[in-house]
Structure 1
């Protein structure tokens, strides 16, 4: 997809500074390949998948650090079978010097595999700080969650933010990925109105096949109506094509107001395509910053 040279370049600058990326524990080789296209010090979130073991997760965090980036390991509350499993993971991160930045999430299982029902329960253990965490990311859902009501989501966001602040931990919010700018900015405005002032990283899907994007969107409850697809720049009748987020980012840059929305950055979901996403960002940054 061609980039429009008329994009609001000055407005893009704050959004394109200090973006973050997401990978799985098995994407280390992909990160090594993509490394030259990623700015040093970039935050790399490492997911906590059910088919990966402790060693895979710890190895991935070490690799991120070794390559000159900031590892942000995920801690999935409902995937932890016991308090001992949580402490073993956090102790391993601390021993490797990769525990300062973590991201806590409830996780996919419908039923907890251990004592932690959600991210708040994990936060309230106090173990994150004890094992060296200094910055903790939490989830935000501008388009809602398929299994959780909006009232519960808002209450959880405020409570998690408050508990982390009480523990002296810095906090940021990473949102689910989105195709439509309207609900994202409306959600940020509402979060500020409710007193959640933490920096927000807006989830953005990296360039990927349209069929794959639609599959992930359906899984995570992200709107995929024809009108939203049109705003994003692809046709749901042509699922063989590839779409990038340039149109979404232009619209975001046009409407982002730091005085209204506070500190906002971007978080790219790579869907396994670290190199493609990183190279796309590098091209877009060059176009927007010159």
Structure 2
């Protein structure tokens, strides 16, 4: 008997890019976007460098995506920024038809000491709402494994709740590989009065050295069993990617079964890994 494949599962998908530094990088990102657009994501997001370091490149990338008729959410980090500079940027995005933002505190660039007019992301969210009303859907960041600079998990949760109550519409998490961390954070946030969606951020596993470096820098935990298996593969990229796909697909399946409202994939401006995850899970946007 021929087995009839199960229908694809409808899931709210989104993909994150960083602004390319070269014309060749921009060309490659266009190809990546075209491939990922075929997966019917709700939107693409574009990162914003510390202290606005990539502002012009972010704007150029956002404009290009919007011109393609696709929904795009620029990141906006407020550390080191003035109210005037943020207001100007909000007015620019609004005039260009952008209706979604990812509002972040960000990190001070090396050598900078002035934090600007915004101390916390909650201050930025409140300012956006006061300045622009409901013109933007505002995403904020969430940290299921606790922000690396937080004094405690309780302090981190309180900061998250403050951001949401300041006017955020939804949240995207830092990546993680422990589903229980996400569920505990989500449940704690709901008990604290947050009813808005908290979307898991998903990092594909393609390169162990790169992943370990990212994780050490941002405080995302790679469970010991995963770290040891990846380290054991050495330079065998095919085995790393096969194992990584198995791990990430298992994580995504558990998250969706547990009620996660969607998946936000950190692409690192590559299409292959994100495509493999979506196709292996038989998802559709």
Normalising by structure 2, report the TM-score: 0.81
Map 1:83-94 → 2, pairs under 5 A: 83-94=83-94
Give the match for residue 197 of structure 1. 195
Residues 127, 31 of structure 1: CA spacing in aligned structure 2 closer, same or farther, 3 A cutoff?
same
Map 1:102-121 → 2, pairs under 5 A: 102-109=101-108, 111-121=113-123
- Deviation at residue 251 of structure 1 after TM alignment: 4.0
Give the one of 200, 222, 230 matched to 2:220.
222
- Stretch of structure 1 that moved more, 39-48 or 135-144: 39-48
Give the match for residue 15 of structure 2. 21
- Deviation at residue 55 of structure 1 after TM alignment: 2.4
The answer for unaligned runs of 5 or more in structure 2 is 1-5
Work out whether residues 14 and 264 of structure 2, in 8 Å CA contact, stay in contact via their aligned partners in 1. yes
Residues 155, 218 of structure 1: CA spacing in aligned structure 2 closer, same or farther, 3 A cutoff?
same
What is the aligned residue count? 264
Q: Deviations over 1:208-265 (max 9, x none)?
A: 21111111111111112423436xxx4223353333344233244246456xx4x521
In 2, Cα distance between equivalents of 1:127 and 1:196: 18
Residues 132, 182 of structure 1: CA spacing in aligned structure 2 closer, same or farther, 3 A cutoff?
closer
The answer for unaligned runs of 5 or more in structure 1 is 1-8, 165-169
Map 1:1-290 → 2, pairs under 5 A: 13-14=9-10, 17-26=11-20, 28-38=26-36, 39-40=39-40, 42-50=42-50, 52-80=53-81, 82-98=82-98, 100-109=99-108, 111-126=113-128, 130=132, 133-149=135-151, 150-164=153-167, 171-229=169-227, 234-240=229-235, 241=237, 242-243=240-241, 244-254=244-254, 256-257=256-257, 261=259, 264-273=261-270, 275-286=271-282
SS of 1:109's equivalent in the other structure is: coil
Residues 213, 135 of structure 1: CA spacing in aligned structure 2 closer, same or farther, 3 A cutoff?
same
Q: Deviations over 1:9-37 (max 9, x none)?
A: 78x825xx221111112264333112332
Residues 264, 64 of structure 1: CA spacing in aligned structure 2 closer, same or farther, 3 A cutoff?
same
Over aligned residues, Cα RMSD in angstroms? 2.8
Residues 189, 140 of structure 1: CA spacing in aligned structure 2 closer, same or farther, 3 A cutoff?
same
Residues 55, 162 of structure 1: CA spacing in aligned structure 2 closer, same or farther, 3 A cutoff?
same
- Deviation at residue 129 of structure 1 after TM alignment: 5.2
